[in-house]
């Protein structure tokens, strides 16, 4: 099922399909291992537009709500 990353909840496994952020943020995400095609687990998501915590390949990455809104993922 294709959804925005912000719509995912704790424990979901996701695969990144598209990133609609600017070049800077996209490259930064790639450097943290979250490029298109990467798979990750949602470790935490906070209520009320708080940040998300993704875990993948031994790295944890915190993502602000507004950035997570721009990331399209496939979740199973």
Partner 1 sequence: MTLTLLESPSVLSAPRARPPRARPLRVALAGNPNCGKTSIFNALTGARQHVANYAGVTVERRAGTCPLLNEPGELIDLPGTYSLNAYSPEERVAEAELLAGPDVVVVVTDSTQLQRHLVLLVQVMQLGANPVLCLNMADEARAAGQTIDVEQMERLLGFPVVETVGHRGEGIDRLVAAIDRAARNPVERHKLVLGEDLDRALDDIARALPPPARPEQGAAWVATRLLVGDQRQTRRVAALDGGEEAVALARLHRTRLEAATGCDIAVFVTERYFGFVDGLLREVRHRPRHVDTRQLTDRIDAVVVHRLAGLPLFALVMFAVFWLTFTVGDYPMGWIDAGIARLGEGLSQLWPEGSDSPLRSLLVDGMVGGVGGVIVFLPNILLLFLGLAFLEDTGYMARAAFLTDRLMHRFGLHGKSFIPLVTGFGCSIPGIMATRTLENERDRLTTMLVLPLMSCGARLPIWMLLIPAFFPPAWRAPTLWMLYGFGIALALLLALTLRRTLLRGDDAPFVMELPPYRQPTLRSVVLKMLTRSQVYLRKAGTTILAISILLWAATTYPKPPSYQVDAQLAKGELALAPEEVEARRAAEDLEHSIAGRLGRALAPVFAPIGFDWKIVTAMIGAFAAKEVFVAQMGIVYSLADGGQGTDSLRALLARDYSPLVGISLMVFLLIAAPCMATIAVTRRESGSWRWALLQLGGLTAIGYLLALVVCQLGRLVI
When asked if residue 8 is in the footprint of partner 1 (CB under 8 A), the reply is no
| Closer residue to partner 1 in complex, CB, 1/48 | 48
Q: How many CA atoms lie within 13 A of 47 on its CB side?
A: 0
3-state secondary structure of 48: coil
When asked if residue 28 is in the footprint of partner 1 (CB under 8 A), the reply is yes
- Cα–Cα dist 45/56, whole Å: 15
When asked if residue 55 is in the footprint of partner 1 (CB under 8 A), the reply is yes
Q: Which positions lie near partner 1, rule CB under 8 A?
A: 21-33, 35, 43-51, 53, 55, 57-67
């Amino acid at each position: 099922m294709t959804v925005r990353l912000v719509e995912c909840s704790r424990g979901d496994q996701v695969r990144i399909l598209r990133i609609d952020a600017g070049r800077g943020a996209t490259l930064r995400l790639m450097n943290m291992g979250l490029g298109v095609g990467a798979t990750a687990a949602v470790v935490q998501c906070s209520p009320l537009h708080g940040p998300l915590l993704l875990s993948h390949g031994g790295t944890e990455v915190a993502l602000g709500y507004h950035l997570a809104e721009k990331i399209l993922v496939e979740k199973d």
